[in-house]
Each structure stands twice: as C-alpha cells, then as structure tokens.
C-alpha cells in the first residue's frame, strides 16, 4: 500500500473540546463527564456523554445540525492546515468523507426537512462551507463508520481520484437511536465498565473528529500503516461470539502494514461494555495477540458515540503517537473496577500510569451492528 499521511487532526467529545484536554482526562481516568439524564428516555435515568462546549452556529438551515456544528468546531482547530491544502491542491481534487449514523435525525423530527436525514449531509456541509468542488460522501456502517471513512479516503487517494482528503466522523445524541438501544436493553443506568464481571451495558455519547490525509508528509505527520475490514454475517445486532471475523480484520491490517503482532504497542478496543461485544472482542484479541499486548477501552470515560466513535478513538490513538501531546509516553488506561469477567479470555488491560518507552504503532478496533468489523494501524 502506498503511504498516506495524516497531516492534521482534531477532536471534540464529552471529556474535552481539544486533543490536549481530552488526553489529560483520558490518562487521569476522569469519568466525571458521564452524567445521568432523564430527558432522553422517558421514565428512565441513564448515563450519557454530552458535549457542553458552546458550538458555532451554521447559518444555512440545510446544514445547521448539531453533528455539523461539532464538525465545524473540529475544523476551526485545524483551520490553518485546511487553508494550506486549499491553496496547494485543485479544489476538484480535495475530497470530503465523513462517517455518521444519526446525521440530523433529531432536527428532522422538528423540521420535516428530508435533507436533514441524509447520511451525506455532514460531508456536504464541509464541502459547501469550504467551497470545494470534489467528491463528498458519507459512510454509515454502524460503529465502524469512522474507520471506514479513513479507509475510503486512503483508497480514493491511492486510486488518484483525489489528491487530499478531509475525513473523520460526527454524531450527536439523538432520541431515536437512544430508544432503539434501550429497546435492546443495552443502555446502562451505571457508568460503563467494559470487560468487568459487573458490566451491564453502554452509555451513549456524542462527538466528532477530523483528519487531513495527503500523500506528502510534513514534520509532524502520522502514517496510516494498514487496515482491515470484514463482516460476520452472524446476526443483525450481536457479533459472532467467537470473534473470527474481528480477528481476521486485525490480521488483514497487520498483513497490509507488513507488521507482526509483537510490533503493535497498544490497541484501543471497541469495548462497549455489553456482554456480547466484550466476549467477541476478547476472543478475537486472543486469537491474534494472545495476552501479549497492552490495550484498553476508552468508552468507560467517553461513552459510545456510535458512527463517530471509531473516528474519535482514532484521534485518541494519534494522541499517543503525538510527542507534543504525550510527552511522557503514557498508554491510555482502562477504567475498571478490577473484577475481570472470568468467562472471557484474559487480556492485558492498561493501568493508570502505564508507559512504554517507544510507542511506534497503535491499532484501533471497531465492531458494529450488522457484523461489521474494522481495524486500522497508525504509526509515527
């Protein structure tokens, strides 16, 4: 695979509105940003992760969606780099690819504007906001949407269809998916504790992340080293408990990167805190890495931002590699009650304060409804 570089990234979620603040809260295991809310599921008090930062307003009513306002916040963080690529490339050769599942479904309930429900709305917003003339598209593959957007951007750049891509993911808390997850009895009235014997579900959340992808590298570039995509074909909402296809996604990423499992320094797990997800992922990890890899789920702090989750967690992975952010070579710790589920294969969860002398390659995993699996490897 021809090298594709990440030359800028940004993020917002419930634990911070920039990557430095987010990283600080991650390594300090600050779960105080998950709050009980009674206004989303009628008659229930459940934990959610909400972005409380004041977000920019969008004048065009077609695009004034919360998920787009989250994206615009991310755009402002890397505005200088965005201006550079617009000056460098033909506007017809800069593509926009954004992963989402909710788009503007909350706004649609009030507006009845069908445009608000389009999966491509966030990508279309950025294209129009930046006055670009190239491809724009949305990826929607449940929880793998953010990684899929990155993969699609790499593929289109390598095929020469675009010279540069602005890609990532965005989702806002919405009533309809919240009620859907609640009907499946997956939402928790406690803060999520993935891989614990006491785990009992997920905390939904919101956020966004953006990345600038180019063939040329700069002084602070990161590299997309490899990726893998598979499908279980097992069940609509439950992953294959054996984790065969999730393991195959990781192996495909390793093979494309030309790396052996021992070269990966850390894995950010999908780790939702549901009984079935954690079983499938632990089995998949065991097949590929045995118990020889440091890993964690960050969803015990951030909650699960659905279509944006794997984009947000890709930004977390880059923060580990970013020497300006991770000055002390910390690994991202796993929020835990220290009661591991002995029905799961044992995996090596990162503890608060754990470090690694050199962090060169990190993997991000996502497992979603419909049996979709995706893994991506980032490097310095």
The catalytic residues are 143, 270, 304
What is the arrangement of strands in the sheet containing 348-349, beginning at the earlier edge strand?
136-139, 94-99, 164-171, 207-214, 4-13, 222-231, 372-379, 361-368, 266-268, 294-296, 348-349
C-alpha 215: how far from chain center: 22
Q: Tell the burial category of 54 from Cβ atoms under 10 Å away from its Cβ (0-12, 13-18, 19+).
A: exposed
Total residue count of the chain as it appears in this document: 380
Q: Report the distance separating Cα 242 and Cα 233, nearest Å.
A: 13
Closest CA to 281 of 352, 377, 345: 345
Residues 6+ apart with CB under 8 A from 380: 222, 223, 321, 359, 360
139 φ, ψ to 5°? -110, 135
Q: Report the distance separating Cα 28 and Cα 298, nearest Å.
A: 12
Q: Report the distance separating Cα 152 and Cα 167, nearest Å.
A: 9
Residue reference for tokens 């993997």 = 363
DSSP code of 369?
A: G
Cβ neighbours of 184 (radius 10 Å): 13
Going from the C-alpha of 54 to that of each of 50, 57, 73, 202, the distances in angstroms are 12, 9, 9, 26
Q: Report the distance separating Cα 206 and Cα 305, nearest Å.
A: 5
DSSP string covering 155-174, please?
Answer: HHHHTTS-SEEEEEEEE---
DSSP-based three-state secondary structure for 209: strand
Note whether 78 and 18 are within 8 A (CB). no
């Amino acid at each position: 695979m021809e090298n594709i570089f990440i030359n800028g990234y940004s993020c917002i979620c419930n634990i911070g509105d920039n990557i430095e603040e987010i990283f600080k809260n991650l390594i300090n295991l600050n779960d105080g940003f998950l709050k009980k809310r009674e206004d989303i599921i009628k008659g229930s008090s459940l934990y959610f992760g909400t972005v409380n930062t004041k977000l920019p307003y969008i004048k065009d009513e077609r695009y004034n969606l919360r998920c787009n306002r989250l994206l615009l916040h991310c755009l402002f963080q890397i505005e200088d780099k965005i201006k550079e690529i617009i000056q460098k490339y033909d506007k017809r050769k800069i593509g926009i690819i954004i992963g989402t599942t909710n788009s503007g479904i909350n706004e649609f309930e009030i507006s009845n504007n069908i445009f608000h429900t389009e999966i491509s709305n966030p990508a279309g917003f950025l294209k129009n906001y930046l006055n670009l003339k190239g491809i724009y598209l949305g990826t929607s593959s449940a929880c793998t949407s953010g990684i899929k957007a990155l993969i699609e951007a790499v593929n289109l750049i390598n095929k020469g269809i675009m010279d540069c891509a602005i890609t990532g993911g965005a989702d806002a808390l919405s009533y309809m998916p919240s009620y859907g997850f609640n009907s499946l009895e997956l939402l928790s009235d406690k803060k999520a504790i993935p891989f614990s014997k006491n785990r009992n579900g997920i905390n939904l959340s919101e956020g966004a992340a953006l990345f600038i992808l180019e063939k040329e590298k700069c002084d602070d570039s990161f590299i997309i080293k490899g990726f893998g995509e598979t499908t279980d074909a097992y069940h609509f909402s439950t992953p294959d408990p054996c984790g065969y296809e999730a393991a195959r996604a990781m192996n495909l990423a390793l093979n494309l990167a030309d790396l052996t499992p021992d070269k990966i320094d850390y894995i950010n797990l999908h780790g939702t805190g549901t009984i079935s997800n954690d079983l499938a992922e632990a089995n998949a990890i065991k097949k590929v890495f045995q118990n020889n890899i440091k890993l964690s789920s960050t969803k015990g702090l951030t909650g699960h931002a659905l279509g944006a989750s794997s984009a947000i967690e890709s930004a977390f992975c880059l923060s580990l590699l970013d020497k300006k952010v991770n000055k002390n070579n910390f690994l991202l710790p796993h929020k835990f009650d220290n009661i591991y589920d002995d029905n799961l294969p044992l995996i090596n969860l990162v503890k608060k304060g754990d470090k690694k002398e050199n962090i060169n390659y990190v993997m991000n995993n996502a497992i979603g409804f419909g049996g979709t699996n995706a893994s991506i490897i980032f490097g310095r």
